[in-house]
Amino acid sequence: MTDKMNFTRADFPPGFAFGVATSAYQIEGHAQGGAGRTHWDDFAATPGNVVRAENGARACDHYTRWPEDLDLIRDAGFDIYRFSASWARVMPEGRGAVNAAGLDFYERLVDGMLARGLKPALTLYHWELPSPLADLGGWRNRDIASWFAEYTEALCRRIGDRLWSVAPVNEPWCVGWLSHFLGQHAPGLRDIRATAHAMHHVGLAHGRAIQVMRGLGMGNLGAVCNFEYALPRTDSPADHAAARLYDGIYNRLFLGAMFRGQYPADVLDGLGPHMPKGWEADMATIAQPLDWLGVNYYTCKRIAHAPGPWPAVSEHLGDLPQTQMGWEICPEGLHHFLHFAQSYANGLPIYVTENGMANPDQPGQPDGARIDYLNQHIAAARRAMAEGVRLEGYIIWSLLDNYEWSLGYEKRFGLVHVDFESLQRQPKASYHALKAALARS
Ligand code: IFM
């Protein structure tokens, strides 16, 4: 293990931007500032859903400690801060009345980034759906596209003039499949019809939000999707077919819709019968022209055919070393997806919008495993760039240890250690290594 990055800023083209990412519910402390209840509060309050039933009520208290957190980002030499706004903080009921303190908070935060020379990269939705909208069916209800457009307008009228970039929805696959088919995230459903509806409505909401922001004269609008490298578990034709379908559901569905106005045919074979009526007419709205594509990448999976109803696939682990999440470390997958993203993005800039690892870090103990992980992945990205991929930035998940959803607070992704009792921040060795690599000579 090393304590140094194996690159410096000078190894990248001028203008290549480095950043860190977080999300609202995972760090802010949702109990403060008049935010409304979210479906994650409800999900966490239901026994068995979240480790120790932990929720985002206090989290990292970024709501009050944001100046210190922005200082940490600036002091390490990062260029971009990718953050998200909480829908329920801006609109506690999800629509209608706006929470003035919520808008004030995001304005202070964005102005704080600009004052420190950071580029504010906003995500409008990183999973904390207001509970009153969940009561109406949440992502299953087609009206969510209009509710989301209303929220987008309320927030962007206030801060849209100062944002460097915006993506509507973080990781559409997680909002659709992980939350409605696998049941691992709020609202915890395991229902194919709910999944098909939610996935389609996520795309529709994305398209409507882009339209609203274009209408406000905003630019540099993109999409952030997560990708998982699907490898067949064995050489059998059945496992190859299963891996291909898994790739379709996970990796090709949203890119197909957003960049080509089409869902992949192999995924529609299974999902088609469950789609909302008249979905075809929405594809032009979903495929709004974009300015960039963001790639979130962490791991690969070994996929096997599994007897049972569609999609009849099962996920397995291979022999590669694993992170604290139990995810295999597979930088080859990032190289693959940067080329893959380029094949959809038609010459647009591509960003790695999330990459990083969870590690059982103790304060004061060097997190060499994270430095190795980042070195390997950044090397894979540089290889793709040398082969012609238009990668223009690399954003690390995450600035702080934070609320890792159904896994609670014990999976530590931060470059900065957070003591969840005292809330004290302590930069890890990876933070210092990145700071040295990013220093401008
Ligand atoms: O913590 C999450 C984040 O909210 C979305 N992308 C993956 C991260 C690690 O699981």
Overall average pLDDT of the 370-394 stretch = 98
User: Does 418 map to a domain?
Assistant: yes
Report yes or no: 35 and 105 within 8 Å, Cβ to Cβ.
Answer: no
User: Does 249 map to a domain?
Assistant: yes
Give the nearest ligand 1 atom to 405 CA: 1
Ligand 1, residues 22, 23, 54, 179: which to mutate, most atoms within 8 A of Cβ? 23
Return the residue whose CA atom lies nearest to atom 10 of ligand 1.
404
Tokens of 340: 């893959």
Give the nearest ligand 1 atom to 413 CA: 9
Q: State yes or no: is 354 an active-site residue.
A: yes
User: Does 4 map to a domain?
Assistant: no
168: helix, coil or strand?
A: strand
Tokens of 423: 């809330």
Overall average pLDDT of the 163-187 stretch = 98
Q: State yes or no: is 28 an active-site residue.
A: no
> What is the full DSSP assignment across 297-335?
EEEEEEEEE-SSSTT-EEEE--SS-B-TTS-B--HHHHH
Report yes or no: 357 and 346 within 8 Å, Cβ to Cβ.
Answer: no
Domains in the chain, number: 1
354 CB under 6 A from ligand 1?
yes
Query: Does residue 1 carry a pLDDT above 90?
Result: no
Give the nearest ligand 1 atom to 23 CA: 4
User: Does 250 map to a domain?
Assistant: yes
| Of 171, 228, 328, 404, catalytic | 171
What does the mean pLDDT of the chain come to?
98
How does pLDDT run across 223-264, given as a tens digit for each residue?
999 999 999 999 999 999 999 999 999 999 999 999 999 999
Going from the Cα of 125 to the center of ligand 1, the distance in angstroms, rounded, reads 13
Query: Does residue 347 carry a pLDDT above 80?
Result: yes
397 CB under 6 A from ligand 1?
yes
Report yes or no: 393 and 377 within 8 Å, Cβ to Cβ.
Answer: no
> What is the full DSSP assignment across 130-160?
BHHHHHTTGGGSTTHHHHHHHHHHHHHHHHG
404 CB under 6 A from ligand 1?
yes
CATH of the domain at 434: 3.20.20.80
Q: How far is CA 28 from CA 39, 69, 71, 103, 255, in A?
A: 16, 11, 16, 14, 30
User: Does 160 map to a domain?
Assistant: yes
Q: What angle do CA 79, 381, 346 make, to 5 degrees?
A: 90
Query: Does residue 441 carry a pLDDT above 80?
Result: no
299 CB under 6 A from ligand 1?
no
- Which segments of 58-191 does DSSP mark as H helices, in order? 62-76, 87-90, 100-115, 131-135, 144-159, 172-173, 179-180
Return the residue whose CA atom lies nearest to atom 9 of ligand 1.
404
367: helix, coil or strand?
A: coil
Ligand 1, residues 38, 298, 325, 405: which to mutate, most atoms within 8 A of Cβ? 405
Question: Phi-psi bin for 137: left (phi > 0), alpha (psi -120 to 50), beta?
Answer: left
Going from the Cα of 307 to the center of ligand 1, the distance in angstroms, rounded, reads 30
Neighbours of 213 (CB within 10 A): 24
40 CB under 6 A from ligand 1?
no
Percent of residues, the chain, with pLDDT higher than 90 = 99
Give the nearest ligand 1 atom to 226 CA: 6
Ligand 1, residues 126, 127, 397, 409: which to mutate, most atoms within 8 A of Cβ? 397
Distance, CA of 283 to CA of 278 (rounded, Å) = 10
Structural domain containing residue 120: 9-438
How does pLDDT run across 98-146, given as a tens digit for each residue?
999 999 999 999 999 999 999 999 999 999 999 999 999 999 999 999 9
23 CB under 6 A from ligand 1?
yes
Report yes or no: 82 and 395 within 8 Å, Cβ to Cβ.
Answer: yes
How much is the CA Rg of the chain, to the nearest whole Å? 20
User: Does 2 map to a domain?
Assistant: no
| Of 54, 128, 354, 404, catalytic | 354
User: Does 3 map to a domain?
Assistant: no
Residue with tokens 């578990």: 233
User: Does 1 map to a domain?
Assistant: no
Task: Please name which of 152, 177, 188 lies closest in space to residue 167, comparing C-alpha atoms.
Answer: 152
> What is the full DSSP assignment across 398-420?
-SB----GGGTT-S---SEEE-T
Query: Does residue 182 carry a pLDDT above 80?
Result: yes
Give the nearest ligand 1 atom to 21 CA: 3
Q: How far is CA 371 from CA 5, 147, 436, in A?
A: 7, 41, 12
Overall average pLDDT of the 194-199 stretch = 98
Q: Which three-class secondary structure string do you get for 417-431? A: EECCCCCCEEECHHH
123 CB under 6 A from ligand 1?
no
Query: Does residue 51 carry a pLDDT above 80?
Result: yes
Report yes or no: 342 and 350 within 8 Å, Cβ to Cβ.
Answer: yes
Residue type, 247: D
Give the nearest ligand 1 atom to 127 CA: 4
How much is the pTM?
Answer: 0.98
42 CB under 6 A from ligand 1?
no
Residue with tokens 């209009």: 146
Overall average pLDDT of the 152-178 stretch = 98
